[in-house]
Amino acid sequence: PDESLAPAICEQSNREADALIRACYPDYQVKAFVCHSWLMDPQLSILLKPESNIVAFQQKYTVFPAPSSGKAIFRFVYERHYDRLEDLPETTSLERALKQHYLAGKYIYEPGGFFFLPAAN
């Protein structure tokens, strides 16, 4: 299902995940969260509006390279296989930007990203 990447919702989710991990694993000191996703590709900050939730989500992370196919975006954004790039839908600004990007022979990759958590009290 589609979930919001609104900054307040992401921050709440991060706090809840941090609390759950600390409660379940009290002897383990959580220091950072890591994400491997097409959402980490820095090209998105060029393709999308600066105020987009995806760009805000990315800005929390320090990105690092990771092996990737450049195809994960199709499963998550378009949710089904298309034989021809020309047939990709253009319903949203994200879909339009990605379609043009791929038609230009470019890819969106799946790098990793991390951010450090505040120290536990």
Residue corresponding to tokens 């930007």: 97
Query: What integer pLDDT is reported at residue 1 of this predicted model?
Result: 46
pLDDT tens digits along 32-73: 999 999 999 999 999 999 999 999 999 999 999 999 999 999
Beta-sheet pairing, 112-116 with 32-36: antiparallel
Q: H helices within 1-121, ranges in order?
A: 7-24, 44-47, 53-59, 72-73, 93-103
pTM: 0.86
* Dist CA 41 CA 112 (whole Å): 8
Those residues whose C-beta lies under 8 Å from the C-beta of residue 36, and which sit 6 or more positions away, are 66, 110, 111, 112, 113
Average pLDDT over residues 18-28: 94
